[in-house]
Amino acid sequence: MTFKEEIQQGIPNILPPKKEYDSTINHAPKRKEILSAEEKKLALKNALRYFDPKHHAELIPEFSEELEKYGRIYMYRLRPDYRMYARPIDEYPGKSLQAKAIMHMIQNNLDYAVAQHPHELITYGGNGAVFQNWAQYLLTMQYLSEMTDEQTLTMYSGHPMGLFPSHKEAPRVVVTNGMVIPNYSKPDDWEKMNALGVSQYGQMTAGSYMYIGPQGIVHGTTITVLNGFRKIKLNPEGNLFVTSGLGGMSGAQPKAGNIAGCITVCAEVNPKITKIRHEQGWINEVVTSTDELVARVNSAKANKEVVSIAYLGNVVDIWERFDQENIKIDLGSDQTSLHNPWAGGYYPAGISFEEANKMMAENPELFKEKVQESLRRQAKAINKHTAKGTYFFDYGNAFLLEASRAGADVMAENNIDFKYPSYVQDIMGPMCFDYGFGPFRWVCTSGKPEDLQKTDLIASQVLEEMSKTAPDEIQQQMQDNIKWIKGAQENKLVVGSQARILYADAEGRVKIAEAFNQAIAKGEIGAVVLGRDHHDVSGTDSPYRETSNIYDGSRFTADMAIQNVIGDSFRGATWVSIHNGGGVGWGEVINGGFGMVLDGSKEASKRLASMLFWDVNNGISRRSWARNEGAVFAIKRAMEIEPLLKVTLPNMVDESLL
């Protein structure tokens, strides 16, 4: 059977043989026991509804075994035998170019070089799933291969509800993930609903088919590290950035440190992931003892090296040992998946990786105690370093939130705010998001590296031309991105699809996209998918991250993210998604994204201008209404550019009157 025929087949009528569990692959940890006996029966009934009743007797013991062993029913038997990667778009079967582009993006999210736990359909973040099981994948791909441009596929937390009649200007796919009733949005609610097969955690770009491997977070981290050093008035050269986590966020931090030009030390407890990131070139060196690490960092500081070092061990050991040795940490952060602290997102100090995985599944209460004890130790050590001059920031992974819940010393004197800022509060919010700059990305669906090179050149030319007349307020952002895009090829950032990211405002996104569309129309490049991280100007309402620099009391509202997705859907997005969870935890954030296919047509040109303008300025208007100075400047400028835009502006109150 050919690849196209396998896609068109969907769930096979004749079951494939049972597959052996592949221990060479990085697997998700076993999820905790949370279902009652009756709920386990319900989980089996829910899984079996994908199959003809003639198969039920054969599948029941198998699915029951998966549920007991792994805490989920993944349906490993249905995992395809073909290689999983983003194929050139013309290799996909189908009647709709847009649908083929979505298949390209889905397979990229599940590429072994991209996905964190590919056999569990988890792209990143420990639980950021594309689908809940392999039946959903097969059925979704089949629907996309049948879809016309007069239909829309509706996705309920990984489940393809079906193809519905619509029209050419409607989205081809609408995705929701984890959209539960607010009072049922605690971590254990997710565990139970996910085990039942009725909801999933889509992270940000995992469940919306827009992950582009480590490159996406590399760029944001590079900007954060550069601006972090600017904030403390230090040149990165010869200075030290300490952090942790190579799994959930890939090798982004060490690569970003190299690009920024500092010494980076990143701790990781998982040997498989550490080996993979080293082999992929995201890390320069790996050390396995704190003695070796101390010597290596002292040498790097003395020689002002630009180097990234992975420490195979717990980050708590680094913070404590560096304090004892009086090694100055200039920038400090953490990027473990603390949105998922009890199921593999954070590993406690003093326990081996294997022992922790066993405890997580068999004694979750003790595991939780150990995690919280470790968080208290980490915070205590961080406090010692900040007293010596370290600039520590929360990287939006819920580190400070979970540390505070563990009773760690991370609260400010008012016992309301945290002692340390979120990187959005201090860096990304006022320097980038308020001005409309965020993670714009594109994918060349031809799969040709030369197409990506051409788009890099087009984007750099557009940005350089724009910088000639850009106001002083955004010149730094412009220059950072021109430098980034010019160095993109040499930094070898592509993993999986031929994709690129840069931070652009609405004007930049529209102009770059229009230049791409013209190049496609001329036959210079193939079709391009536009997208962005949900972690953007307008996409996400997250009180401890994306909207942490909103101070008018609206941090805990989610109107912006919901408005964003609704507005994108009728302004021309090819697909839209809205999720509960993101990078900070279920119940802590609502975030949305989009994908848009450019095919060189006049219709695509019209759609990109309308949708991209809204997608950015929706968030700027909300930030402006919160009285953010940069956003007030940016929205006034947007109104000058577009006469049809008329936004309510805030009147400022004289503080002395209050």
Banded pLDDT at 65 (limits 50, 70, 90):
very high
Q: In what order do the strands lie in the sheet with 240-244?
A: 285-287, 307-312, 263-268, 240-244, 331-332, 391-392
- Say how far apart CA 547 and CA 535 lie, in whole Å: 10
pLDDT of residue 616: 98
For residue range 84-117, what is the model confidence (pLDDT) as tens digits? 999 999 999 999 999 999 999 999 999 998 999 9
For residue range 536-571, what is the model confidence (pLDDT) as tens digits? 999 999 998 899 999 999 999 999 999 999 999 999
Nearest 10 degrees: CA dihedral of 455, 308, 27, 126? -70
- Pick the range with the lowest mean pLDDT from 132-136, 337-341, 467-471, 503-507: 337-341
3-state secondary structure 515-564: HHHHHHHCCCCCCEEEEECCCCCCCEECCCCCCCCCCCCCCCCCHHHHHH
* DSSP-assigned beta bridge partners for residue 312: 268
Q: Is the pLDDT of residue 218 over 90?
A: no
Average pLDDT over residues 489-517: 93
Average pLDDT over residues 453-464: 96
pLDDT of residue 544: 87
Closest among 526, 326, 547 to 443, alpha carbons compared: 526
pLDDT of residue 525: 98
Banded pLDDT at 276 (limits 50, 70, 90):
confident
pLDDT of residue 249: 62
Q: Is the pLDDT of residue 531 over 90?
A: yes
What is 421-440 written as a DSSP string? -BHIIIIIHHHTGGGT-EEE
For residue range 289-298, what is the model confidence (pLDDT) as tens digits? 999 999 999 9
Closest among 494, 472, 550 to 219, alpha carbons compared: 494
Banded pLDDT at 137 (limits 50, 70, 90):
very high
Using DSSP's 3-state secondary structure scheme, residue 630 falls into: helix
Amino acid identity of 319?
W
Contacts 24+ apart (CB under 8 A), 360-369: 360/29, 360/30, 360/32, 361/29, 361/30, 361/31, 361/32, 361/33, 361/71, 364/32, 364/33, 367/342, 368/341, 368/342
Average pLDDT over residues 303-310: 97
Contact yes or no for 340/585 (Cβ under 8 A): yes
Please report, in angstroms and rounded to a whole number, the separation of the first and last CA atoms in the chain: 75
Looking up tokens 């930030």, which residue turns up?
623
Structural element, H or E, at residue 54:
none
Per-residue CA distances from 284 to 253, 256, 294, 306, 308 (Å): 12, 12, 16, 10, 5
pLDDT of residue 577: 98
For residue range 385-423, what is the model confidence (pLDDT) as tens digits? 999 999 999 887 889 999 999 999 999 999 988 999 888
For residue range 583-620, what is the model confidence (pLDDT) as tens digits? 888 999 999 999 999 999 999 999 999 999 999 999 99
Per-residue CA distances from 160 to 50, 110, 201, 531 (Å): 11, 17, 15, 22
Structural element, H or E, at residue 343:
none
- Say how far apart CA 225 and CA 651 lie, in whole Å: 34
Q: If you ran DSSP here, which 8-state letter would residue 308 be given? A: E
pLDDT of residue 250: 64
State pTM to two decimals: 0.89
What is 113-153 written as a DSSP string? TT-SBGGGTEEETTTEES-SSHHHHHHHHHHHHH--TTEEE
- Say how far apart CA 299 and CA 301 lie, in whole Å: 5
Closest among 504, 489, 493, 510 to 596, alpha carbons compared: 510
- Say how far apart CA 420 and CA 49 lie, in whole Å: 49
- Say how far apart CA 83 and CA 80 lie, in whole Å: 8
Mean pLDDT of the chain: 95
Banded pLDDT at 248 (limits 50, 70, 90):
low
Using DSSP's 3-state secondary structure scheme, residue 177 falls into: strand
Closest among 297, 276, 289, 177 to 577, alpha carbons compared: 177
Interhelix angle for 629-641 vs 602-625, to 10°?
Answer: 140
pLDDT of residue 86: 98
pLDDT of residue 296: 98
The length of the chain, given as a count of residues = 658
What are φ and ψ of residue 443, in 5° steps?
A: -130, 130
- Pick the range with the lowest mean pLDDT from 46-60, 203-217, 287-301: 203-217
pLDDT of residue 584: 85
pLDDT of residue 343: 85
Q: Of 69-83, 112-126, 266-280, where does the model show the most confidence?
A: 69-83
Helix, strand, coil % in the chain, rounded to nearest 5: 45, 15, 40
Q: Is the pLDDT of residue 482 over 80?
A: yes
pLDDT of residue 220: 85
For residue range 621-641, what is the model confidence (pLDDT) as tens digits? 999 999 999 999 999 999 999
Using DSSP's 3-state secondary structure scheme, residue 597 falls into: strand
Contact yes or no for 147/174 (Cβ under 8 A): no
